[in-house]
Amino acid sequence: MPRSFLAILLVAAGFAAGCGSPGLSSQTPKGTHGGRTIRLPDDKGFIELVNEPVVTDRYNPQPTSIVAYFFQADGKSAMSPSSTDVSFEITPDARSRQRDRSAAGSSTLHLSAEPKADDPAGASRFASKTGPYALAAIRGALKAKINGQEVSTAFMGSR
């Protein structure tokens, strides 16, 4: 009995470690501001997505903004020159379409440049208007222009 338990634990640990698929390796757990960092395609840098203010109750969220911090390839310094045309396209999942038929399409939030002088990475900070945008509960794609080139990267909350 103890050997079979150990075997099950080893197999579970192997599944938890993952297989290194590109879709999963592009998202790293935590960034400088406590959000999820996403590697941009073609080594253009990183984006960190956070809610400001932080959502404390996932099931009853207060109005919050989606905020994107853009970083150089080193993952520490603000992207320079800064990105332009930043937006977040929210894609509703099947559960939300079943509850509300009007949510059949996606919605696009435009993020405006809102730099923070007291934050070393705040020079390349973009924020949406406030609303029910708890990142843990949504999925979508962040789009931006970096050095004039359009870039898009997928985001999946922790549902």
Position 138 scores a pLDDT of 87
Q: Are 137 and 157 in contact (CB under 8 A)?
A: yes
Position 14 scores a pLDDT of 45
* Greater pLDDT, 142 or 17: 142
- Residue 125, pLDDT above cutoff 80: yes
Hey, which residues does 154 pair with through a beta bridge? 141
Residue type, 74: D
pTM: 0.73
Q: Are 45 and 66 in contact (CB under 8 A)?
A: no
Q: Are 33 and 50 in contact (CB under 8 A)?
A: yes
Q: Poorest-confidence range of 9-23, 107-121, 131-145? A: 9-23
Q: In terms of Cα–Cα distance, which of 131, 121, 119, 106 is closest to 74?
A: 121
Interval 10-68: pLDDT, tens: 444 444 444 433 333 344 546 788 888 899 888 889 999 999 999 888 777 789 999 99
What are the CA-CA distances from residue 17 to residues 10, 11, 35 (Å)?
A: 11, 10, 21
